[in-house]
Amino acid sequence: MALLDVTDLSVVFRRRGEEPFTAVDKVSFSVEPGQTVGLVGESGCGKSVTSLAIMGLLPKRGNQVTGSVRYEGTELLSLSPDQMRARRGKDLGMVFQDPLSSLNPVIPIGIQVTEVLEKHRGMPRRKAMIEAEDLLNRVGIPDPRRRLTEYPHQLSGGMRQRALIAIALACRPRVLIADEPTTALDVTIQAQILALLKELVTDTGTALIMITHDLGVVAGLCDQVNVLYGGRVVERAGRHELFELPRHPYTHGLLASIPRLDLEGDRLVPIPGSVADNIPWDGGCAFAPRCANQIADCTARTPELTGDQQRLLLCHNPMEVAVR
Partner 1 sequence: MLRFTVRRMLQAIPTLFILSILIFAWLRSLPGGPATALLGDKATPEKIEALNHVMGLDRPLWEQYLGFLGRMATGDFGNSLISADPVLAEIGRCFPATIELSIVALLIAVGAGIPLGYLAARYRGGVLDNLTVGVSLIGVAVPVFFTGLMLKYVFAIQLGWLPPSGRLDPQIDATHITGFAVLDGLLTGEYDAAWDATLHLILPAVALSSIPMAAIVRITRAAVLDVLNEDYVRTANAKGLDARTVRGRHVLRNAMLPVSTTVGLQIGLLLAGAVLTEKVFNWGGIGSLIAQGIERHDYPRLQALILLAALVYVVMNLLVDISYAIIDPRVRVR
Closer to partner 1 by CB, 82 or 266: give it.
82
# binding residues, partner 1 (CB under 8 A): 32
**Sites for partner 1 among residues 129-168 (CB under 8 A):** 151, 153, 164, 167-168
Q: What is the dihedral of CA 294, 275, 253, 309, to 10 degrees?
A: -80
Q: Contact with partner 1 (CB under 8 A): which of 70, 90, 121, 138?
A: 90
Q: Contact with partner 1 (CB under 8 A): which of 37, 53, 103, 228?
A: 103
Provide the minimum distance between the beta carbon of 95 and partner 1 in the complex, in angstroms, as a whole number: 9
- The per-residue DSSP string of 106-143 comes to TS-HHHHHHHHHHHHH---HHHHHHHHHHHHHHTT-SS
Closer to partner 1 by CB, 61 or 267: give it.
61
Report the DSSP pairing between strands 224-229 and 74-75: unpaired
CA distance 186 to 114: 28
Q: Contact with partner 1 (CB under 8 A): which of 115, 133, 180, 214?
A: 115
Q: Contact with partner 1 (CB under 8 A): which of 15, 107, 195, 276?
A: 107
Provide the minimum distance between the beta carbon of 61 and partner 1 in the complex, in angstroms, as a whole number: 9
- The per-residue DSSP string of 150-210 comes to S-GGGS-HHHHHHHHHHHHHTT--SEEEEESTTTTS-HHHHHHHHHHHHHHHHHHT-EEEE
User: CB burial class (10 A; 0-12, 13-18, 19+) of residue 13?
Assistant: middle
Q: Contact with partner 1 (CB under 8 A): which of 22, 44, 49, 88?
A: 88
**String marking each residue 47-76 x if it binds partner 1 according to CB under 8 A:** --------x-x-------------------
3-state secondary structure of 312: strand
**Sites for partner 1 among residues 226-245 (CB under 8 A):** none
The answer to whether 294 touches 317, Cβ cutoff 8 Å, is yes
Region near partner 1 per CB under 8 A, out of 116-124, 217-225, 287-295, 304-312:
116-124
Our separate counts of H helices and E strands in the chain read: 11, 12
Contact set with partner 1 (CB under 8 A): 55, 57, 81, 84-90, 93-94, 96, 98, 101-108, 111, 115-116, 119-120, 151, 153, 164, 167-168
